A = this chain, B = another copy of it.
Amino acid sequence: MNLTLSEGQFNLVYNSFSFVIASMGAALIFFLLVRNRVAPRHRMAITLSTLVVAIALYHYLRIFDSWSAAFTYDGTQYVQDGEPFNEGYRYVDWLLTVPLLLAELVVVLKLTKDKTRSLLVRLTVAAIAMILLGWPGEVSDPDSTARAVWFIASMIPFLYILYVLFGELGKSLERQSATVRKLVDGLRYIVLVTWSIYPLAYLAPTFIDDEATAEVARQVGYAIGDVVAKPLFGLLVLGIAMAKSREDGYAPALDDAHDDAELVRS
């Protein structure tokens, strides 16, 4: 594939990737700094958010470099004549971060041990299946049957995840307080909306005839998806963790005292 992009097209993708790097880096610092505002028993969710944005930060640094190296500026436009852009970074990233993201949501709810384990196992398996099945289609020809077939195969675990979040998780929510229930409810709809960005970006090469436009749409779509699904999702999980900390009687004002006590015991 020898893609030629206008300066504006190349830079839109380039700056989107840079935007994601800045967002992930800021989110990483933020999650590290606000840990103490959450009661110790709810900190695992924040820990997982921290890992997610750290992993994504690493991958976007690589993605950014790979994108820059793949193109050469010829004085007026960008020609793809370097090493091919490595799409693999995204799939490796998702393989690690999507199970962690789903775990964030499950862990912060503090369900029974059995329920938590069962949800984690099933969501992790479904997430991995979704990503592995998407990959062969992603790298196949835009108009090939293969792309369509793998897309549909990948959508089955995707829909299963949504079924678990909306069906099964709904029942578990009854034990939560009204505040938490409302927050989780909002979070599920955000998952629904933001996760829909990914299949749309995936399908861009199928539905957009102009190759350059399709590539830009796909890359920018994935970048937006990752910012919403990782740092923003993490912020909402943090909101749930803080609400539950307050309900447990954890007073962030006493934070320093708590921290000291913890350090003494550790």
Show the binding face of A for B, using Cβ within 8 Å. Answer: 7, 11, 14-15, 18-19, 21-23, 25-26, 29-30, 33-37, 39-41, 44, 47, 50-51, 54-55, 58-59, 62, 73, 82-84, 86, 88-89, 91-93, 95-96, 252-253, 255-256, 258, 260-266
Contact = CB atoms under 8 A, between A and B. Distances in A.
A22 B262 contact: no
Contacts of A252: 40-41
Contacts of A92: 15, 18-19, 22
Given A7-B84, A26-B55, A83-B73, A33 B50 contact: yes
A172 to B, nearest CB: 22
B18 A253 contact: no
Contacts of A58: 21-22, 25
A152 B11 CA distance: 25
> Which applies to chain A's interface (DSSP): helix, strand, loop or mixed?
helix
A264 B263 CA distance: 10
A81 to B, nearest CB: 9
A22 to B, nearest CB: 5
Contacts of A19: 92, 95-96
A171 to B, nearest CB: 27
Given A29-B50, A50-B33, A86 B14 contact: yes
